[in-house]
Amino acid sequence: MAKAKVNLNGKTILVTGSPGFIGANLVLRLLREMTLGTVISFDSMNDYYDPKLKEYRLGLIEDAAKESSVEHIFIKGNLADKNLIDELFEKYKPSVVVNLAAQAGVRYSIEYPDVYIESNIIGFFNVLEACRNNPVEHLVYASSSSVYGGNKKVPFSTDDKVDNPVSLYAATKKSNELLAHSYSKLYNIPSTGLRFFTVYGPAGRPDMFYFSATQKLAAGNTIQIFNYGNCKRDFTYVDDIVEGVYRVMQGAPEKKNGEDGLPIPPYAVYNIGGGQPENLLDYISTLQEELVNAKVLPADYDFEAHRELVGMQPGDVPVTYADSKALEEDYGFSPKIGIREGLRKFSVWFKEYYKN
Ligand SMILES: NC(=O)c1ccc[n+]([C@@H]2O[C@H](COP(=O)([O-])OP(=O)(O)OC[C@H]3O[C@@H](n4cnc5c(N)ncnc54)[C@H](O)[C@@H]3O)[C@@H](O)[C@H]2O)c1
């Protein structure tokens, strides 16, 4: 698909959901790469998981900003607050918007649906409206592999029909893609949705399996392995996700008119996933080995005694597998970092962060 080049340097970039996990890593990358301009982090700092981790990531960003010639501004606020979002856009006029703020998590959406509607639907709508009323060159936003639900065909392609979400979380992410399409068509706003596949890494999200399993194992507890370990996941190391987002930000779907004289929506959706689904049991074995290497677990750790195989969880899917060919074709990139390297970095970070 034809892309219009977006030069980030010297511009104002808004990253919502920073200092969330992916957002913080993206902002750190922007502060390293850009030499001029302003990067705005926007986040409610909610307590869905330990907010100390968000404070820690914000600390890393503030340290990096001191070393960077780029200005960094942190704004604490709720995406669902329309006046605040309007004021923010009016005041800073961001050229590129990366919307990562959302209520994440499949299982939590079963118990707490309201917050998904507030953050992922109303919040995203507010971002779209603000993009409509301001000169935004490119809106990039997080979708999710969960839109594929129980898709039987692998690998998952963005051409596959994704109209059967199996969780409210997935339904909100698919809705984001639909809303973005209508705004791209009606108001000619270049937008790119990115379906992330199980992102992991240092200072990641404690609600995700690799992190919560590590906390349980480190405390001497047993972990539960769902679907008796018969799950395959396409894990993506956070640096690969950041590389993908960074490249995508710089290439917006081109604006063109159709034969009817109206805009052809400058709209695209891509998968970003490792492209090598791992068997859950292999992933856990590698995690445990790396936790021993990092001295989070003792050398004689009895793995078998600390795992319990259990059935499938509601909202969960047996396999995720990304076809990231389109990303490779359009942006010359596909994820590179394997689980051994990624889990090693996570384990070393975990040991250091929780040393006390
Ligand atoms: N990590 C993954 O494996 C993964 C996979 C697929 C999609 N995603 C999507 O990627 C994005 C980033 O995910 P992450 O893993 O960094 O999650 P994260 O929870 O660490 O980051 C999201 C941030 O958004 C903030 N937030 C939530 N609701 C908000 C609101 N209403 N207003 C302002 N801020 C709000 C949270 O405080 C949090 O810091 C999310 O949209 C998520 O749905 C993540």
What is the pLDDT, as a whole number, of residue 94? 98
**DSSP run (H or E) holding 40:** strand 38-43
Q: Name the CA radius of gyration of the chain, rounded.
A: 20
Peptide bond into 19 cis (omega under 30): yes
Q: Which of 191, 178, 179 is nearest to 125 (CA)?
A: 179
Tell me, what amino acid is at 253? Answer: P
236 CB less than 6 Å from ligand 1?
no
Ligand 1 atom having least distance to the Cα of 146: 6
233 CB less than 6 Å from ligand 1?
no
Distance (Å) from CA 102 to ligand 1 centroid: 4
240 CB less than 6 Å from ligand 1?
no
Distance (Å) from CA 105 to ligand 1 centroid: 9
CA 279 to CA 350: how far, in whole Å? Answer: 23
22 CB less than 6 Å from ligand 1?
yes
Token pair 């956070």 is found at 238
CA 83 to CA 270: how far, in whole Å? Answer: 31
Per the CB < 8 A criterion, the answer to whether 97 and 136 are in contact is yes
Ligand 1 atom having least distance to the Cα of 199: 3
Distance (Å) from CA 4 to ligand 1 centroid: 27
For the chain, give the longest Cα–Cα distance.
70
The CATH number that domain 3-199+236-275+321-336 falls under is 3.40.50.720
Bridge partners for 143 per DSSP: 195
What is the pLDDT, as a whole number, of residue 4? 98
Which parts of the chain sit beneath pLDDT 50? none
User: What is the per-residue pLDDT across 16-65, written as a single tens digit (0 to 9) for each?
Assistant: 999 999 999 999 999 999 999 999 999 999 999 999 999 999 999 999 99
CA 8 to CA 249: how far, in whole Å? Answer: 8
CA 54 to CA 174: how far, in whole Å? Answer: 26
Which mutation among 14, 15, 21 tests ligand 1's pocket best, with the greatest number of atoms within 8 A of CB? 21
92: number of Cβ within 10 Å? 16
Distance (Å) from CA 84 to ligand 1 centroid: 19
Q: Which of 228, 286, 47, 255 is nearest to 138 (CA)?
A: 255
Which mutation among 18, 100, 272 tests ligand 1's pocket best, with the greatest number of atoms within 8 A of CB? 100
Distance (Å) from CA 43 to ligand 1 centroid: 9
CA 205 to CA 225: how far, in whole Å? Answer: 18
**DSSP run (H or E) holding 341:** helix 339-353
- So which residues are the catalytic ones? 169
User: What is the per-residue pLDDT across 254-273, written as a single tens digit (0 to 9) for each?
Assistant: 999 999 999 999 999 999 99
Buried b vs exposed e over 46-61: b needs ≥16 C-beta within 10 Å? eebbeeebbeebbebb
The answer to whether the pTM exceeds 0.85 is: yes
Backbone angles phi, psi at 126, to 5 degrees: -60, -40
